[in-house]
Amino acid sequence: MARLYVLIILSTIFTCHATWAMAKEEIRGAGSEWLSSLTRELLGSAGEPEFFEWMKRIRRRIHENPELAFEEYEAGQLVRNELASLGIEYTWPFAKTGILASVGSGVQPWFGLRADMDALPIQEMVEWEHKSKNNGKMHACGHDVHTTMLLGAARLLKQRKDRLKGTVKLVFQPGEESYGGAYHMIKEGALEKFQGIFGLHVAPELPTGTIGSRPGPMLAGSMRFLAVIEGKGGHAAMPHATRDPVLAASFAILALQQIVSRETDPLEARLVSVGFIEAGQAGNVIPASVRFGGTLRSMTTEGLFYLQRRVKEIFFSRLYVII
C-alpha cells in the first residue's frame, strides 16, 4: 500500500503543481515523460527492502499499542520521533494529539497528505506475534497502516525536497472514529492556506496492488443519531398500566426505514441504519425507557441534512403521539 500512496499522491504533488506555470502542451510532452520517470523512481524506492522493513516495523509497533480517539499519545510520540529523525519540522498539538508536519520550500502552493491515527474499542481475537497489547482496543480499521503510509510518504518526499516547487503538509489526524477529529483540526487552523488535500483508505476486499476510485464523490458523509424514549414501566401482565417505550421505539424504527424507501430518489445514495437498541433485561417487565441509535449517510451535504431533519421530525411527531 505504500507504493499506492507514492503512485497516486506523490506523483500528483510533484506534477500538478510543480508544473504550476507550464503550458498545457508542455505538460503533455516533457511533463508527462518526467512524470513517468519520477513514478518509476518513487515506486523503486518504495520497494527497496530496507524501506519496506522500516515501514513494517512502524506499523507493527502502532498495531500493538492501539489508542482511542484523542488518546493517541504513544502513536503521536512515535510519529514525532520519526519525523525528527528524518529532519522534518512539525507543529503539535492540534486537536489535542494531532500533528502537522511540512516538507518542501515553505512557499505556495501547499498541498496536504492526511492519515488518521485512532483505533477502535474492539477486542483483538486473532492470536499472532503483534496482537494488540491494550485490552479492548484494536486497530481494526487500518489506521495503523494509514499512519505508517504517511510516514513512508514523508521519508520519500524528504529525500526529494529540493525538487518540490511548493510545500507538502503532512496531516496526522486524531479522532476519526465518530469524534470529529478533522473538524477540530480545521477549527484550530491546521489546514489554512491549503490548495488541496489527499487521503486514502485501505480496502481488504480489493486485491493487493489495486486501487479503487471513481470521478466525483467516493465515500459518503455520515452522521450519528441517538434516541431515548421515556415511558412508564411495569409488569408485562398489566400493559394497560404502562406506557410501553418498546412499542414506541418499534414504530419509530419502522418509520425511519421509509425515509429512504419512499422519500428518496432511487438513483440517489442515502442510508438510514439503526445499529443498536437497549431496553430492559427481563422478559416479563416492560421497561421504563429505550435507547437506540444508528447512522445516516449520503453522498451529498444536502442529502445528509435532509436525513437529519426527517429523523428529528419523525422522533418529535410520531413519538409524542405514541407516548
Per-residue model confidence as pLDDT tens digits over 162-179: 888 899 999 999 999 978
Mean pLDDT of 54-81: 97
Same domain membership, residue 193 and residue 115: yes
16 pLDDT band (50/70/90 cuts)?
very low
Same domain membership, residue 95 and residue 42: yes
- pLDDT at position 165: 84
Quickly list H helices, 193-300.
Answer: 245-263
In a domain, 285, yes or no: yes
Same domain membership, residue 116 and residue 241: no
Same domain membership, residue 239 and residue 158: no
Number of domains composing the chain: 2
Same domain membership, residue 42 and residue 122: yes
The residue whose grid cell reads 509497533 is 61
Structural domain span for residue 284:
221-322
Question: In terms of residues, how long is the chain?
Answer: 323
- pLDDT at position 29: 59
Cell of 272: 438510514
The DSSP secondary-structure symbol of 252 reads: H
Same domain membership, residue 54 and residue 115: yes
Separation between Cα atoms, residue 47 and residue 50, nearest integer Å: 9
In a domain, 206, yes or no: no
Mean pLDDT of 298-314: 94
In a domain, 44, yes or no: yes
Q: Report the SS3 class of residue 103.
A: strand
Same domain membership, residue 237 and residue 160: no
Mean pLDDT of 32-43: 80
Mean pLDDT of 65-78: 97
Same domain membership, residue 114 and residue 156: yes
**What region does 185 belong to: left with phi over 0, alpha with psi -120 to 50, or beta?**
alpha
Q: Kindly tell me the number of DSSP H helices and DSSP E strands found in the chain.
A: 10, 10
In a domain, 207, yes or no: no
Cell of 318: 410520531
Same domain membership, residue 9 and residue 73: yes
In a domain, 204, yes or no: no
- pLDDT at position 219: 86
In a domain, 234, yes or no: yes
Separation between Cα atoms, residue 5 and residue 46, nearest integer Å: 10
What CATH code is carried by the domain that includes residue 283? 3.30.70.360
Same domain membership, residue 236 and residue 166: no
- pLDDT at position 72: 97
- pLDDT at position 323: 44
Q: Given 163, 198, 233, which residue is the final one in a domain?
A: 198
Does residue 242 surpass a pLDDT of 50?
A: yes
Percent of the chain with pLDDT over 70: 88
